[in-house]
């Protein structure tokens, strides 16, 4: 079962376009969404929270295929951390809670205060005076305090100190013990995804380039390196995003075993990182 | 809908407080006018009342301007509430603010003013309903884009009415100037026509806006 099911989503905003996307975010898993700035991550997320309305296509979230009709119910079940700090700055975290208790049916004050305490966010200081990291922590505390079934985190770790980033990843992993929760985690710090994501989705220029289980992705695709002049047209076809350098070539391939059979020790096959997957796929798009 | 009303009240607390203080000042002035000469203070009291009523009559625009600070509307409008409830609450809230404006105005009138001033108020209320209908239809289509510009556009006709209806009405009645039947219709009948039209346009714009708002992008 999927927490989010998107079919043929199309949206035009100025010159930017999201092009007939099909996406499935499986329930009970962490899906990491990667992509450069301006790739369309936040635009896509804004469709899930009802801030944007698709020009065409279907978006089904937590079983509802009518976000407008079920908006109130859905947003009660979604915890959201925005890429930017958009809190009313004149409020303190304590006063913000008064507002949130009015909005969220399942608001858990004890959990909110526990997170504020754990994250060392001062409760009675105006949000305006909090540091960027503290604002992200506050945003996380809000998202985690109303028993959300779907957490949508838009670049939550970008402004966090490394130690707290690790702490956050632990919290998210702990939440996953309850398999009812689904997390969609957008970031460009791909090492975070390598640690916690079950699925990885890459978006570029409004298009989904891949959406795969992380282990399957990293098992299927490998980095292949070899000397110059070894490849012919046929073997070149087996490579994705090939780049030549002074020593030879470097590329990604899902036929790395075939290349190994053909060239033996002449080719070096290595495990890829998510960063490298993105790099080779983008190279490939440029070449096409 | 209650959620949005709560949000509106939270953001406009200071306007309600300002209006409340103005009511107290007006009442104190009204009850003490037989004991002390208030004339030296009246220009100041008049100005204060005008400022307070400018805020009470445009409280929605004020809230919208405040919540666009730090792009807080991205956060506030992604809280669990239906878009149609946001719109409904804003319509109800403005109607409440008009009632509150009448309350402030009524305490102002009793400080030795003539009741003819109510014709001017009726005219402004009617124009406010018409302009707010236009404002909220634009809101339903494009939410808070150019909020400050729309604030100004809302106020322009109200300012013109204040200058060319309210002020002449006051001056001609005080000085008992008779300018003929046409002028009387303009002063005493037109306000009720504008108010009636305002009520109809306000209701119709809500019905139109609630269809539009579910199809529009918030950000």
Residue entry with tokens 């719109």: B87
B182 shares contact with chain A (CB less than 8 Å): no
- Confidence at residue A88, expressed as pLDDT on a 0 to 100 scale: 95
Distance CA A255, CA A260 (A): 9
Lowest mean pLDDT among A193-202, B13-22, B198-207: A193-202
Domain boundaries, chain B: 2-216
Q: Is the pLDDT of residue A287 over 70?
A: no
3-class secondary-structure state, position A169: helix
Domain with CATH 3.40.50.300 in chain A: 2-217
* Closest partner CB to B72 (pick from A49, A68, A87): A87
List pLDDT tens digits, range A54-75: 999 999 999 999 999 999 999 9
**What ipTM does the predicted assembly reach?**
0.89
How distant is the Cα of B106 from the closest Cα of chain A, in angstroms? 33
A161 shares contact with chain B (CB less than 8 Å): no
Write out chain B residues lying below 8 Å of A73, CB-based. Answer: 80
Instruction: State the angle between helix axes of A109-118 and A93-103 in degrees (0 to 180), rounded to the nearest 10.
Output: 150
Q: Is the pLDDT of residue A160 over 90?
A: no
How distant is the Cα of B80 from the closest Cα of chain A, in angstroms? 4
Q: Is the pLDDT of residue A143 over 90?
A: yes
Q: Is the pLDDT of residue B206 over 70?
A: yes
- Confidence at residue A25, expressed as pLDDT on a 0 to 100 scale: 96
Task: Tell me the Cα Rg of chain A.
Answer: 21
Contact state of B74 with A82 under an 8 Å Cβ cutoff: yes
Distance CA B164, CA A67 (A): 48
A13, A18, A47, A51: best mutation site toward chain B, by most B Cβ within 10 Å? A51
- Confidence at residue A97, expressed as pLDDT on a 0 to 100 scale: 97
Q: Is the pLDDT of residue B45 over 70?
A: yes
Half-sphere exposure (Cβ direction) of B137: Cα atoms closer than 13 Å: 15
List pLDDT tens digits, range A3-51: 999 999 999 999 999 989 999 999 999 999 998 888 999 999 999 998 9
The CATH number for A2-217, chosen from 3.50.50.60, 3.40.50.10540, 3.30.420.40, 3.40.50.300, is: 3.40.50.300
Write out chain B residues lying below 8 Å of A66, CB-based. Answer: none
Confidence of residue A157 (pLDDT cuts 50, 70, 90): confident
Mean pLDDT of chain A: 92
Contact state of A51 with B2 under an 8 Å Cβ cutoff: no
Q: Is the pLDDT of residue B34 over 90?
A: no
Q: Is the pLDDT of residue A77 over 90?
A: yes
Distance CA A162, CA B158 (A): 56
Distance CA B74, CA B70 (A): 9
Contact state of B83 with A102 under an 8 Å Cβ cutoff: no
Distance CA A159, CA A222 (A): 31
Contact state of B70 with A80 under an 8 Å Cβ cutoff: no
Confidence of residue A179 (pLDDT cuts 50, 70, 90): low
């Amino acid at each position: 079962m999927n927490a989010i099911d998107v079919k043929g989503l199309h949206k035009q905003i100025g010159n930017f376009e999201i092009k007939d996307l099909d996406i499935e975010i499986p329930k009970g898993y962490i899906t990491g969404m990667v992509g450069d700035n301006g790739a369309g991550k936040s635009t896509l997320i804004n469709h899930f929270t009802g801030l944007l309305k698709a020009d065409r296509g279907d978006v089904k979230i937590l079983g509802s295929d009518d976000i407008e009709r079920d908006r109130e119910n859905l947003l009660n079940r979604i915890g959201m951390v925005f890429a930017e700090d958009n809190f009313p700055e004149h409020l303190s975290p304590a006063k913000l809670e008064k507002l949130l208790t009015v909005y969220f049916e399942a608001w858990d004050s004890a959990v909110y205060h526990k997170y504020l305490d754990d994250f060392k966010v001062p409760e009675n200081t105006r949000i305006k005076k909090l540091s960027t990291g503290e604002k992200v922590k506050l945003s996380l505390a809000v998202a985690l305090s109303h028993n959300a079934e779907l957490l949508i985190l838009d670049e939550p770790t970008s402004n966090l100190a490394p130690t707290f980033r690790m702490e956050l990843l632990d919290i998210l992993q702990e939440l996953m013990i309850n398999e009812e929760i689904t997390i969609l985690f957008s970031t460009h710090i791909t090492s975070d995804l390598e640690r916690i994501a079950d699925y990885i989705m890459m978006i570029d220029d409004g298009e989904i380039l891949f959406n795969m289980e992380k282990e399957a992705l990293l098992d299927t695709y490998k980095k292949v390196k070899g000397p110059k002049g070894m490849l012919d047209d046929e073997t070149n076809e087996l490579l994705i995003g090939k780049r030549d350098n002074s020593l030879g070539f470097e590329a990604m391939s899902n036929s790395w075993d075939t290349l190994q059979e053909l060239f033996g020790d002449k080719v070096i096959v290595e495990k890829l990182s998510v960063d490298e997957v993105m790099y080779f796929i983008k190279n490939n798009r440029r070449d096409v | 809908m209650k959620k949005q009303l709560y949000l509106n009240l939270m953001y406009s607390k200071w306007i309600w407080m300002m209006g409340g203080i103005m009511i107290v000042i007006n009442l104190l002035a009204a009850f003490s006018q037989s004991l002390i000469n208030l004339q030296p203070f009246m220009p100041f009291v008049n100005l204060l009342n005008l400022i307070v009523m400018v805020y009470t009559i445009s409280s929605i625009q004020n809230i919208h301007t405040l919540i666009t600070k730090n792009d807080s509307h991205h956060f506030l409008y992604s809280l669990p509430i239906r878009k149609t409830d946001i719109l409904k609450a804003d319509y109800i809230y403005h109607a409440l603010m008009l009632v509150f404006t009448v309350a402030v105005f009524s305490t102002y009138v009793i400080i030795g003013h003539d009741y003819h001033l109510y014709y001017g108020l009726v005219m402004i209320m009617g124009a406010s309903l018409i302009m707010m209908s236009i404002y909220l239809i634009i809101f339903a289509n494009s939410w808070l884009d150019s909020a400050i510009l729309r604030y100004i556009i809302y106020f322009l006709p109200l300012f013109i009415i204040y200058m060319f209806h309210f002020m002449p009405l006051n001056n001609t009645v005080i000085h008992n100037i008779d300018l003929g039947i046409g002028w009387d219709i303009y002063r005493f009948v037109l306000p009720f026509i504008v108010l009636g039209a305002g009520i109809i346009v306000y209701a119709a714009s809500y019905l139109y806006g609630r269809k539009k708002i579910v199809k529009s992008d918030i950000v």
